[in-house]
Amino acid sequence: MLKFVRAHSPVRMAIQISHAGRKASSRPPWEGGSQLHPHEPGGWKTLAPSPVPHSDGEDPPLALDAEGLRKVRDDFVATAQRAVRLGFDGIEIHGAHGYLLHQFLSPLANERTDAYGGSLEHRMRFPLEVFDAVRAVVPEDIPVWMRISATDWVPGGWDIEGTVALSRVLKERGCAAIHVTTGGVSPAQAIKLGPGYQVPYAQRVKAEVGLPTIAVGLITEPEQAESILAAEEADAVSLARAMLYDPRWPWHAAAKLGAHVFGPKQYWRSQPRQYKDLFEGSRFGQR
C-alpha cells in the first residue's frame, strides 16, 4: 500500500502486520471469499475474542483464552522484530477491516465479560497491549502506527467516537499516526460509497487528536489526492486498488501535478516528451 504525500517522507518502506482472526481460513476474493471450514482442505479453526462467526452459517471461532492472547501478542512482536531485521523503516499495525484487533474493539464481535470485553476501556485493552508490545521492541527512530476502522456502518457497532478515544490513548503511547478506514467487521454493514467517502473520518481524527492521519477510500485521481492534502483534511493518502489498476500511478500523478519522482536509469527514456524533467537526475530531461 503506497502512501502518496507531497513532500518527501522519511518512511520509504513500511510493512503492515495483522492477524485475521475469525476472517481467516477463507478462499481468495476472486474465488468468492467464503470461509473454508476446518474439515475442508486448507481450512482451520479460527480465533476471535468471542465464539461469534463473521457470517451466518460459518464455523464459529474459538474464543482466545489468556494463553492465546499471550501467543498473539508474541506473534505480533516477533513479526515486528523480523521487519526491523529486514530493513523496514515503518510498521503499521492493522486494527481495521474486521481483523482480530478490530474484532476486540467492536461490540458486534466482542461479547466477552472479562477484562477484554464490555466497556470501551476493556475492548480497547488488547489492541493497546499489542501496540505497546510492538512499540517496545522497535527502535525509537522507526515509527509505529495503527490502522483503524472509524465505523462499522452498523448500529450498535464501533464508531467514530470510539476511534477518537482510542487514537488519543495511542497518541499517549507513542503512536506515530492513525490510518483511518472503515467497515469490515460485519456483512450487515451499510456503507455510503462515494469519492473520498472516508476522508471526513480522517479529518476528524486529525482535528480532535492532533496525530497525523492517513486517508483512504475511493481516492483515484491525482488532483483529488492533492486537494485532500492541500485542504489539510489528512496528512497522507493511501492507495491500494488504484495502484493495482495502475502500478505507475505515482509517476502519472507527479507528471500531472508538476512534481518529480525517482526512477531507475533504465526508465529515464520512457518519460513522455511533455514531461521532460519527470525523473530526478535524468540526463534525458533536457532533450
Buried-exposed string 29-55: b where 16+ CB fall within 10 A, e elsewhere: eeeeeebbeeeeeebeebbbbbebebe
Q: Which of 99, 116, 197, 275 is catalytic?
A: 99
47-48 and 144-149 strand pairing: unpaired
> Which residues are CB-neighbours of 234 under 8 A, at least 6 positions away?
180, 199, 202, 203, 206, 213, 214, 215, 228
> Which residues are CB-neighbours of 247 under 8 A, at least 6 positions away?
none
Query: Is 99 labeled as catalytic in the residue annotation?
Result: yes
All three cell numbers of 245, joined, read 489498476
Length of the chain: 287
What whole-number distance in Å separates Cα of residue 44 and Cα of residue 94? 22
> Which residues are CB-neighbours of 95 under 8 A, at least 6 positions away?
101, 102, 105, 127, 146, 147, 148, 149
Which ranges of 106-248 would DSSP assign to H, the alpha helix? 120-137, 160-172, 199-209, 222-230, 241-245
Residue 212: closest CA among 166, 161, 167:
167
DSSP letter string, 223-245: HHHHHHHHTTS-SEEEESHHHHH
What whole-number distance in Å separates Cα of residue 206 and Cα of residue 171? 11
Residue 47 and residue 68 in contact, taking contact as beta carbons nearer than 8 Å: yes
Catalytic residues: 99
